Structure 1
């Protein structure tokens, strides 16, 4: 039968090994708020070893965050646990992540220490944001459709009445009815564009690069200034199932927006890659074709980034705000996903299209 001393020794060995097995990142600070321990999960998260972090102040990691020295000192004094749900940590210029952090006071060798537990939440946050934006986009689309039909019906009657009235008027007076008919047609055209494409895609197998090359050809014929288009294709991408014309239109709308936002000094890159384990509309897709449209222009204004794909939202004073909304609809018809990440100097629209996986017989 194990003695009390045996049990205590066993308990200590398990406790010492446990931190190294945790998937949660653990950081321990001494009473001076210097780093004295990080477990392997924390080393992986911070991309730094314990040897490089040992003895460095907590501010090395938590500079410019809500986890301040004053809060940690207060925790040591009071012993009261603190939790922060969305802490953005920029450990290096190229390494940035969002974490949920719990800090508590613990004793080692009868000296108070701070135990920090970090859980990276970037993926969960991104999925939640995408689901929310998708729901908002669907709600906005349904609202626009309802309003568009309510507008379109009386417009038809208005135009018909103007045509009948036109027959009873002299040439001078017909100018007024002609204006009514012209404006009714203009509004009808706008409503039709608001409703977006209503035909189901004609799905066939196509080479994604042939679609992109047609976009490049159209752009080369129509653009007013010489924006340089760089091709960065992955030739290993298999044929994708798509409606060639609809996919071409979706990409063309995005490229045209980029052209309007940049000048002759900037470039547009069309990039294709195979992407694994992507989330599309809340579902995990093992294999996708990824099309990226990247420009190094000024970026999209932050105040419209969350509503960028809504109808009538545009960063261009002369834009209608329909191009990206139509692209979103077209990509959704392909069971794909369209997203955007933008900062000054780098704007990237990403199209994900599910790839059919071959089954072995």
Structure 2
């Protein structure tokens, strides 16, 4: 039989080792709300070691969040734990993350302490947001298709009636029928643009950088003033299965949108990278190519960021709100994903396209040869 002291010693050994093995970030605060311990997971999340964090206040981590000293002091006084599921922590310009936080009262050496557990949820949140946006986009597209059918039918009848009427009236009155025909054609054209491209892409293996260079060439030709375009290409990217013209149009829409949003002193960077084991519209993809269009302009207004890819949504007073919507449709036709992250000084549109994997039987055949 084991005696109580042996069990207690074994328990302490496991408790001490357990914190260092947890993937959840653990922070312990003393009764002065100063950091006295962080486990390795917390060091990795905060990009600071225990030696640099020891004795610092929570303001270093939780500035401008809902986790403040008053709330933590209340926990010490009442012993009532709390959970916050959406804490956005900004440590510096390049390190910002969202975490789920649980704060609990604990006691060490007869002194009250606060135990903070943080779990980074950016990836899960991003996947949920992408699935929601995809569902919203599909619902919006189906709604527009239904409306387009209901609008174009009476417009066709209206235009036909105006044409017949113009043959029966004098030249002076034909001005009115011409206006009816002209406006009916304008509305029909608008509905067609709202529907976006309706032809399926012609898929072929393409060099993605040749598509990007064609976009750069078109931008140079179509703008009077020079645009500061930068390249950051990964030359190891293999051929991508895509429709050259449709992908070019999607990229051109995004680049033109960026040009209209920035000033002359700003720049636009075209970047390509390989990504592995990522999620595209809720599906896991082993290998993909990432195409980023990055500008250092003023950023996209926060009030339209969630609806940026919807038709007729624009941040400019003279914008049609169709360019990004069409780009979204074109990328979806390639089974890819178009997303955007924007803040003042950094706006990034990212296109992710799945890379075709060689069939297993082809691999086996090559191995046999």
TM range (shorter): over 0.9
Partner residue, 1:156:
156
User: What residue ranges of structure 2 are gaps of 5+ in the alignment?
Assistant: 365-369
Aligned residue for 2:285, secondary structure, equals: strand
Structure 1: give runs of 5+ residues left out of the alignment: none
Deviations 1:179-234 (A, max 9, x none): 11111111111111111111111111111111112212222221132212222221
CA deviations over 1:81-136 (Å, ceiling 9, x no partner): 11111111122343211111111111111211111111111111111111111111
Mapped partners of 1:151, 1:327: distance in 2: 24
Task: Name the structure 1 match of 2:4.
Answer: 4
Query: Could you say which residue in structure 2 is the equivalent of 1:217?
Result: 217
> Secondary structure, in 3 states, of the residue corresponding to 2:65?
coil
Q: How does 1:94-173 map to 2 (within 5 A)?
A: 94-173=94-173
Given that 1:201 and 1:242 are in contact with CA atoms closer than 8 Å, whether structure 2 keeps it comes out as: yes
* 1:264 shift after superposition: 2.3
Q: Is the 8 A contact 2:276 2:288 kept in 1?
A: yes
CA distance in 2, matches of 1:263, 1:234: 28
Separation in structure 2 between the aligned mates of residue 343 and residue 303 of structure 1, nearest angstrom = 12
Aligned mates of 1:94, 1:292 — CA distance in 2: 17
Secondary structure at the aligned position of 2:168 is classed as: coil
Q: Aligned partners of 2:185 and 2:94: how far apart in 1?
A: 52
2:81 alignment partner in structure 1? 81
- Aligned-residue CA RMSD in angstroms? 1.3
Helix, strand or coil at the partner of 2:312: coil
Partner of residue 340, structure 1: 340
Aligned to 1:193: 193
Name the residue aligned to 2:300. 300
DSSP 3-state at the match of 2:306: helix
Note closer, same or farther for the CA distance 1:120–1:344 as it changes in structure 2 (3 Å cut).
same
> How many positions carry a matched residue from both structures?
361
Deviation above 6 Å: which 4+ runs of structure 1? none
Whether the 8 Å contact between 2:220 and 2:227 is mirrored in structure 1 is no
1:135-164 residue CA offsets vs partner (Å, 9 max, x unmatched): 111111111111111100111011111111
Aligned to 1:204: 204
Shift in alpha-carbon separation, 1:30–1:263, aligned structure 2, 3 A? closer
Structure 1 residues 250-269: aligned runs within 5 Å: 250-269=250-269
1:329 aligns to what?
329
> What's the counterpart of residue 356 of structure 1?
356
